[in-house]
A and B are shown apart, each in its own frame.
Chain A
Amino acid sequence: MRNMSQLAKDIFKYGRVKDCPVYDMHGHMGSHYGIHFPTKSAEKTVKSMQAANVQKLIFSHHGSLMMRDGNSLSLKEARKFPGLLKVYCTINPNFPEVTEKDLAAFDEARDVYVGIKLLAAYHKKPITDDGYKKAWEFANKRKLFALVHTWGDNNMNGPEQIDEVARKYPGCKIFMGHSCHGEWDKAVLLANKYKNVYLELTAVPDERGPMEKFIEKAGSKKILFGTDMPWFSYHNYIGAVLGAVRKEEDLRNIFYLNAKKLLGEIGQL
């Protein structure tokens, strides 16, 4: 492997490197209406994590995203592997009574909860909608993570909506899931404009080019590794990052240093 750092060569050779863990900041769990997932359970997920030295996965269960009142599924699975699995509390603005209940019970689940997850394009209400307001204010006050599914050319969770919430809720650490897929330049602008906004890699490595742009224009300290697990596999995604990122320092920032710092800031390391 020419032009690769020693760290990258070691990952290629061994599949995992002890002093370079991976923190996956964007995952899911369970079965799904549109895709067959061979890796559905927490047990199988953790096995896959171990094969690639993934030491932390923060996820929201498909049941929490695709049906009413499903956050308990995430909590149940995460508690099977304390420390390895953490949870985003899914906020679906179509069911305000569930949001109210989940936020009221949030502190009882601080052993696993690290923030909120928004999937506006599927829930058909923009992230600036009033239906999310209580959750944003809650996360802002407590300086929690907010993993937002983002996509380019989209008025539910596109760059314009991120711009608005990033300004309004500076306490939140906002992770742009999929980095405004397709509108890469706008994602970079947002990551540079706001201290609390980060580029997240899920669905980004499917295409050569954007990761190189992120490194060059935003720098590796604003990039978080994520896979949509079990949508995408660890070794495929890690391989893609190794293909795009040459410097060892950048690889370490992306794979774990940035995530560890953020988790430390919310007392969840």
Chain B
Amino acid sequence: MKIKFFDANAYIGTQMLGVYKSAATAAELLEKMDEVEIEKALVYHMAQFDYSPEEGNKMLVETMAGNKRLFGCWTLLPPQTEEVIADNFFAQMKKNRIFALNLFPVHHRFLLNGVVFGEFFKELIKRKIPLVLSMREGGATWEMLYSLLKEFPNLTCILTDLSIWGVDRYTFPLLEKYEKVYLESGVLSLHEGSFEMTVKKFGAKRLVFGTGFPEKYQEASMLHLLHSNISETDKQKIAAGNMEKLLSEVKL
């Protein structure tokens, strides 16, 4: 069976400190995806993190230019400042092929809780819009995440950029308690046996394939998934099926 890949964690642009051979545009990212046979990707623009969510979100839309293989992910800021979340927000998401939202509370200096996002997160739950939480430096902390899910247990959360040091002690309790928490496989596949144990304990439906490109090698998580000790059906679910299902349920 030929495995089809949907990358849940890639970005366009480069960090202000530079990244080796990053993709400056959507076209360059697609070229790199073609090289390794990745069909689709959920993408954001690094300017959303490093420079300004407000401007970066626009840059993402501009470079994606409606390409059907790319699914956009905008970065959120607190609704009260109206920098990102404004009137017709969801209509704008639909118009611009934005299917998920991410946030970087530490780097962008706000709190991740119901006081800040209460009504907005209730709307995300209703619309089944995934919230992508990067655990990279500047993203969310584990304490934030645990508190957030206590307040919003039905929020669909995809955790990406899991730490180089294994994170099972953090992720297993979350997977056990909250059925809408998903893990991106990129860094998880780095840890010997953790990926397989996660599938065994919680099922393949809780994982989505990701690469972490351009910081990480796409080939690393691909080779790992292709030859992991799980069934072929589970491999296909993780490689693309779960992500396609999540995005197909989004109501904009």
A208's partner among B36, B214, B229 (CB-CB below 8 A) is: B214
Q: Are A242 and B223 within 8 A (Cβ)?
A: yes
Q: Are B192 and A11 within 8 A (Cβ)?
A: no
Whether A244 contacts B226 in the complex (CB less than 8 A), given A35-B165, A232-B190, comes out as no
Chain B positions within 8 Å of A48 at CB level: 192-193
Q: Are B192 and A208 within 8 A (Cβ)?
A: no
CA distance A1 to B226 in the complex (A): 14
Cβ-based interface call for A243 (8 A)? yes
Contact with B along A218-243 (1 / 0, CB 8 A): 00000000010111111111111011
Chain B positions within 8 Å of A44 at CB level: 193
Q: Are A208 and B165 within 8 A (Cβ)?
A: no
Which residues 28-79 of B sit at the A interface, judged by CB distance below 8 A? 34-37
Whether A235 contacts B223 in the complex (CB less than 8 A), given A2-B35, A36-B169, A48-B193, comes out as yes
Q: Are B196 and A38 within 8 A (Cβ)?
A: yes
Cβ-based interface call for B205 (8 A)? no
By beta carbon, the residue of chain B nearest A237 is: B220
Q: How far does the Cβ of A27 sit from chain B's closest Cβ, in whole Å?
A: 10
Whether A242 contacts B193 in the complex (CB less than 8 A), given A12-B226, A208-B21, comes out as no
Q: How far does the Cβ of A216 sit from chain B's closest Cβ, in whole Å?
A: 12
Chain B positions within 8 Å of A37 at CB level: 166, 192-193
Contact with A along B213-227 (1 / 0, CB 8 A): 011111111111011
Q: Are A12 and B223 within 8 A (Cβ)?
A: yes
Q: Are A236 and B223 within 8 A (Cβ)?
A: yes
Interface size of B in residues (CB-CB distance below 8 Å) = 36
Q: Are A233 and B217 within 8 A (Cβ)?
A: no
Q: Are B219 and A239 within 8 A (Cβ)?
A: yes
Cβ-based interface call for B189 (8 A)? yes
Chain A positions within 8 Å of B228 at CB level: 235
Q: Are B217 and A205 within 8 A (Cβ)?
A: yes
Chain B positions within 8 Å of A227 at CB level: 192
Whether A233 contacts B192 in the complex (CB less than 8 A), given A35-B166, A208-B215, comes out as yes
Chain B positions within 8 Å of A239 at CB level: 217, 219-224
Cβ-based interface call for A83 (8 A)? no
CA distance A179 to B225 in the complex (A): 27
CA distance A2 to B36 in the complex (A): 7
Cβ-based interface call for A39 (8 A)? yes
Cβ-based interface call for A206 (8 A)? yes
A11's partner among B20, B37, B214, B223 (CB-CB below 8 A) is: B223
Chain B positions within 8 Å of A230 at CB level: 191-193
Q: How far does the Cβ of B161 sit from chain A's closest Cβ, in whole Å?
A: 11
Q: Are A242 and B219 within 8 A (Cβ)?
A: yes
Cβ-based interface call for A209 (8 A)? yes
Cβ-based interface call for B164 (8 A)? yes
Q: Are A209 and B221 within 8 A (Cβ)?
A: no
CA distance A2 to B31 in the complex (A): 11
Q: Are B164 and A240 within 8 A (Cβ)?
A: no
Cβ-based interface call for A34 (8 A)? yes
Q: How far does the Cβ of A178 sit from chain B's closest Cβ, in whole Å?
A: 12
Chain B positions within 8 Å of A108 at CB level: none
Q: How far does the Cβ of B78 sit from chain A's closest Cβ, in whole Å?
A: 32
Cβ-based interface call for A212 (8 A)? yes
CA distance A189 to B191 in the complex (A): 30
Cβ-based interface call for B168 (8 A)? yes
Which residues 198-252 of B sit at the A interface, judged by CB distance below 8 A? 214-224, 226-229
Chain A positions within 8 Å of B215 at CB level: 207-208
Cβ-based interface call for B19 (8 A)? yes
Q: Are A208 and B194 within 8 A (Cβ)?
A: no
B197's partner among A38, A51, A205 (CB-CB below 8 A) is: A38
Which residues 152-204 of B sit at the A interface, judged by CB distance below 8 A? 164-166, 168-169, 189-197
Q: List 29 A-B contacts (CB under 8 A).
A: A1-B36, A2-B36, A11-B223, A12-B219, A12-B222, A15-B227, A35-B165, A36-B168, A37-B192, A38-B168, A38-B192, A38-B193, A38-B194, A39-B192, A48-B193, A51-B229, A52-B227, A205-B220, A206-B216, A207-B215, A208-B20, A209-B19, A231-B166, A232-B190, A232-B191, A233-B189, A233-B195, A235-B223, A235-B228
Closest 6 CB pairs of A and B: A239-B223, A209-B20, A38-B193, A243-B217, A15-B227, A243-B219
Chain A residues in the interface with B (C-beta under 8 A)? 1-3, 11-12, 15, 34-39, 44, 48, 51-52, 203, 205-209, 212, 227, 229-240, 242-244
